[in-house]
Amino acid sequence: MKLLGAVSAAAILSLILSVHIHRSFNYFFPPFNELIWDVSKEFSDKTSSNRPLGSEGGFRDLAGVLMGMRRMTADIAWISVLQYYGSHNMAAQGIDSESKGEYPALKTLVLRTVRLDPYFDFAYLYGAGSLAFNLGRFDEAIEILEEGVKYNPTQWKFRLYIAAIVWKKKGQMDNLIPLLEEAIAYPDCPTLVKSCLANIYKARGKYARALEIWVGVAEQKNLDETYRHQSAEQIEDLRKKLKI
């Protein structure tokens, strides 16, 4: 399973299936001029075995669209995102050696996915959440979400995330927390956003609410093994702090 890197085939398939059902079947004519053509150059310094699956992009993506397999092509692009960034312990396992964990190609890979399938809501949310809340690249996150608003003007969650990222960028936690609380109430909220909110509460000494969120994370179906381990550690630590 070296080709799939740190993310197992089963985990990838389950995540694709879990978000696939939420995607609209209404496709407008594909904006060929907006497809990401230069994905492969992001990995020109890596051997083929260390590149995400399907990272060639370009004309291969176009061929998939022209053959009527647009959603499948987007799913392959999404697997590339998961391999590149989807597991926080990739570098530790020697699968990906991105310097300092900066993941410079993340925005490009996410945009490639959503331009193949502009209705892939979870990809927008996951990509923007990763860039903003894990990597501190707020402007890139907002750029992805604004593209989501362009193609999905009635999807209010994109605007909710934009507002949350703006407050995060400004360091105004009192304004950020209510927005994150609203975001995690929805089933398609990425786990990383939930973990971000739980960590904010923990840092503020609000252990009970932090514990409640982590318990919810641990109970999720198809939870990534990294988050399963992290949630178990956090739950144990918070219970000790609460003496329960």
Helix, strand, coil percent content, the chain, rounded in steps of 5:
70, 0, 30
Rounded CA gap, 161 and 145, in Å? Answer: 8
**Residue 207 belongs to some domain of the structure:** no
Per residue in 108-139, pLDDT (tens digit) is: 999 999 998 999 999 999 999 999 998 999 99
**Residue 31 belongs to some domain of the structure:** yes
Tokens of 131: 């860039």
**Residue 97 belongs to some domain of the structure:** yes
Rounded CA gap, 217 and 190, in Å? Answer: 10
What was the pLDDT predicted at 14?
A: 47
Residues 6+ apart with CB under 8 A from 243: none
Tokens of 106: 């993340």
What was the pLDDT predicted at 55?
A: 65
**Residue 67 belongs to some domain of the structure:** yes
**Residue 113 belongs to some domain of the structure:** yes
Tokens of 38: 């230069």
Tokens of 16: 């694709």
Which residue in this structure is represented by tokens 């909220």? 189
Per-residue pLDDT for the chain (244 aa), expressed as one digit of tens each? 444 444 444 444 444 444 444 455 455 555 666 777 777 777 767 766 566 666 666 677 777 777 878 888 889 889 888 888 865 433 333 333 344 468 888 999 999 999 989 999 999 999 999 999 989 999 999 999 999 999 888 888 999 999 999 999 999 999 999 999 999 999 889 998 999 999 999 999 999 999 999 999 999 988 988 899 999 999 999 999 999 8
C-beta separation of 101 from 147 below 8 A: no
Residues, the chain: 244
Rounded CA gap, 4 and 141, in Å? Answer: 26
Rounded CA gap, 157 and 182, in Å? Answer: 10
What was the pLDDT predicted at 147?
A: 92
C-beta separation of 215 from 201 below 8 A: no
Domain of 108?
2-189
Rounded CA gap, 10 and 222, in Å? Answer: 9
Rounded to two decimals, what is the model's pTM?
0.74
Residue from 198, 193, 186 nearest 235 by CA: 198
Number of domains in the chain: 1
Per residue in 18-38, pLDDT (tens digit) is: 444 445 545 555 566 677 777
Rounded CA gap, 193 and 29, in Å? Answer: 32
**Residue 94 belongs to some domain of the structure:** yes
| Sequential DSSP letters for 6-42 | TS-HHHHHHHHHHHHTTS----PPP-GGGS---GGGG
C-beta separation of 216 from 193 below 8 A: no
- Tell me how far CA of residue 185 lies from CA of 157, 176, 206, in angstroms: 11, 15, 19
**Residue 240 belongs to some domain of the structure:** no
**Residue 220 belongs to some domain of the structure:** no
C-beta separation of 196 from 128 below 8 A: no
